[in-house]
Amino acid sequence: MVQFVTQYQHADGRKRIRVTTTCRSWADMATQQPNIAYGFDQEAGAVAIARLASWRATNENDTPEALRWLDRTLIRLCQKFGEYAKDDPNSFRLTDKFSLFPQFMFHLRRSQFLQVFNNSPDETAYYRHILFSENVLESTTMIQPVLFSYSFSGPPEPVLLDTSSILPDRILLMDDYFHVLIYHGQTIAAWKKMNYHEDPQYATFKQLLEAPVGDATAILQERWPMPRYIVTEYEGSQARFLLSKVNPSLTHNNPYASEGGAPVFTDDVSLQVFMEHLKKLASSSST
């Protein structure tokens, strides 16, 4: 049982006290590990870790140490709840209850909460304040943005937050809570510059351009504080907001970059490399 006691002064000048009591099940890690694993909430866990890491980076004024703490925490969790044979990274597996958690941590490490380059101290403080204030759903969006793809082949669909999703004949809508961005692929941008959408013969193309705008408008109207609204295109300067968030599975150094998607010019490791390294550390008998 947990009890929270809050004291505050009301607008009428009187002091008030509010007591909130909640009851939760508790389990011994040594004897009831399966019960703990069954009750694990990946989204809530990711948000809790994000807030702790941001708090450490703010109050200890040491972002690199906060990143190291985050890495150690993730490795310990994988060692405790992963299924693997010692010193055999290929045998490492996580159950469905934990399968997305490393992915959240990968994006958290690259987020504006822990990467302060090109952000002023005020901006960093603002981002972290909102993270501390919002609910789990919105906070998860801040950690791992939502990406939707629009095409002629069907209705909008969620796609991977990955460079492989950036295709010439697609329009992307990204929501990272602080920004709502519409990105036109290379072919779409070229058609728009030629004003095809103004020709009645290409009414379908006009509808395709309008679809993400309507969805973005709905997000802007519902959210407070209002996100920054960005419309950009292939090789546009504002496209950096999208490219900085996607998993760089295709880069200028990647020999397979020509197989699809848009390569990103970055030295950051991809999610695939991150997971391989995590499996190696988690399964190592010397870690």
Q: pLDDT tens digits, residue range 166-193?
A: 999 999 999 999 999 999 999 999 999 9
Mean pLDDT of the chain: 93
In angstroms, rounded to a whole number, what is the distance separating the alpha carbons of residues 105 and 143? 8
Taking CB atoms within 8 Å and a gap of at least 24, the contacts of 123-126 are 125/58
Classify the phi-psi angles of 48: left when phi > 0, otherwise alpha if psi is within -120 to 50, otherwise beta: alpha
Q: pLDDT tens digits, residue range 120-164?
A: 999 999 999 999 999 999 999 999 999 999 999 999 999 999 999
Model-level pTM greater than 0.85? yes
pLDDT band at 233 (very low <50, low <70, confident <90, very high): very high
Query: Which residues contact residue 271 at a Cβ distance below 8 angstroms, ignoring those fewer than 6 apart?
Result: 103, 106, 162, 247, 249
Which has the closest alpha carbon to 56: 132, 143, 140? 132
Q: Which residue has the higher pLDDT, 213 or 63?
A: 213
Considering the chain, what percentage of its residues have pLDDT values greater than 90? 83
What's the pLDDT at 258?
47
What's the pLDDT at 254?
67
What is the pLDDT averaged over residues 24-31? 81
Number of helices (H) and strands (E) in the chain: give both, helices first. 10, 9
What's the pLDDT at 256?
53
What's the pLDDT at 101?
98
Please check whether residue 19 is in contact with residue 5, taking contact to mean a CB–CB distance below 8 angstroms. yes
Q: Which residue has the higher pLDDT, 275 or 260?
A: 275
Tokens of 50: 């994000």
Domains of the chain in start order, with CATH, are: 41-140+271-283 (1.20.120.730), 146-244 (3.40.20.10)
Q: pLDDT tens digits, residue range 270-283?
A: 999 999 999 999 99
101, β-bridge pairs = none
Q: pLDDT tens digits, residue range 49-75?
A: 999 999 999 998 889 999 999 999 999
In angstroms, rounded to a whole number, what is the distance separating the alpha carbons of residues 33 and 22? 23
